[in-house]
Chain A
Amino acid sequence: MTAGRRDFLEALPPVHRGWLLGFAHEVTLPAETRIFGEDDVADRFWVLRSGLVALDVHIPGRGPVVVETVADGELLGWSWLFEPYRWHLGARTRSAVHAWEFDAARVRAAMEDQPAAGLALFRTIADQVIGERLRSARTRLLDLYGNDKSHESGVRGAVG
């Protein structure tokens, strides 16, 4: 691992990292594979080791529209943590993906049994995944690269 990375597993305290990986098995998914669709049952989740996955929303007339991508080192899926345990976005591989796959029900049960590990995992998901994606979504809501035509002489079209 490179020091500048902030991988999902790296963010977990080492003792809980081992605990979580105890539930994992390795999977390989070919490119352009639908992993799950909107509203499907969220019974698994993944930590990507390589490859790229697109999260999408189906829009009638346009088909699946990609809202964000998830890359290696990141967690794919958190709807399995909350009732009703259904995905609110779809996921599809862009390239071949190599990942750790987890059984959601087993991990949930283990979190209940071992609250310290459960809390550590929950905190990491809240910060690294839910929080990060919320910040990212809010930033994109600002449409920063968009274009306001009202002013110039100092605009980024200028210096920059």
Chain B
Amino acid sequence: MTVLAPDARPALPPSPYRVVDRGRETSDTATIVLEPVRSALPPFSPGQFAMVFGFGVGDIPLSVSRIEGDRLTHTVRSVGAISTRLASLEPGAPVGVRGPFGTGWDLSAAAGLDLLIVAGGLGLAPLRTLITAALRAPERYGRLNVLVGARSPGDLLYAGQPERWRNAGARVLVTVDRPDDTWRGDVGVVTGLLNRAGFDPDRTVAFLCGPEVMMRATARDLARRGIAPDRIQLSLERTMHCGTGHCGHCQLGPLLLCRDGPVVRWDRAEPLLAVREL
């Protein structure tokens, strides 16, 4: 009796990759670049994630923050044993990678329209690939607005990148919660930047990633400003163990976020996020 789905693709075990570069982003966050030791996994698209295995400690879901040929780039914040290990790996160190998993951003929904990207904290990581993809095909999209919120200037990811995005034609606004003495820019929540983004709600698709509270507030604000809920995409998070829809940890009501997410549209997400402890 055959029960395997015809298009089923085994997702075990992890493929050996090697760290080829590592850069410190902030005091607790690093970006690692991985290269396959032998054969590469199938190509990742922006917004998808990998399960990255640190030898003997376990694996965690990490979104791709850059895709360049076979190379995968991940930004990791040290919060536990696995992420701390991954964030501290030196070039040459072996890791195991499974994936690609999840839905990814639906950039095609923005064809011919403007893009409004709103990132909070580490939420910029999965949006970086989207920004790059949009800037590579300027003829396909209208204006690109990128709004970034961070805790402090020292917590901003990807130094130098916003300048490059600006030079490529994007409008990039950055705000922090806690400025230092050298900070000359905006101070306040990222929704405070929406007014200046200058978007036409009828011609805009929004992409959000950040803490859930920040995404909820931003999506509600955007909907009030007239963006249709099905044109607002969010990257959600819950615990993940398998990445393949089999372990049950990442359920959010009807969704298995590793399979039906992490990117979910606001028309789907709003009623689910409104239920406490769903």
Contact = CB atoms under 8 A, between A and B. Distances in A.
Interface string B91-120: 000000000001000000000000000001
Interface of A: 2-7, 52, 54, 63, 65-69, 71-74, 94, 135-136, 139-140, 142-160
A139 B211 CA distance: 11
Contacts of B55: none
A158 B225 contact: no
Contacts of B236: 159
A153 B235 CA distance: 16
Interface in B174-199: 175, 177, 179, 181, 183-189, 191-192, 194-199
A144 B119 CA distance: 13
A146 B240 contact: no
A147 B240 contact: no
Given A6-B225, A159-B240, A160-B126, A153 B121 contact: no
B80 A151 contact: yes
A5 B198 contact: yes
Instruction: Say what secondary structure dominates the interface of chain A.
Output: loop
A158 B83 contact: yes
A62 to B, nearest CB: 8
A97 to B, nearest CB: 14
Given A154-B240, A158-B60, A5 B195 contact: yes
A139 B192 contact: no
Interface in B241-277: 241, 249-250, 257, 262
Q: Is the interface of B mostly helix, strand, loop or mixed?
A: mixed
Interface stretch (B2-10, B132-140, B163-171, B201-209): B201-209
Nearest to B28: A147
5 contacts: A52-B185, A68-B192, A136-B188, A152-B80, A155-B77
Contacts of B204: 4
Interface string B134-151: 000000000000000111
Given A71-B192, A144-B214, 16 more contacts: A7-B195, A52-B186, A73-B196, A94-B184, A144-B121, A144-B213, A145-B210, A149-B79, A153-B60, A153-B82, A154-B239, A154-B240, A157-B77, A159-B257, A159-B262, A160-B122
A150 B78 CA distance: 11
B20 interface: no
B189 A139 contact: yes
Contacts of A151: 79-80
A71 B125 contact: no
B49 interface: yes
B237 interface: yes
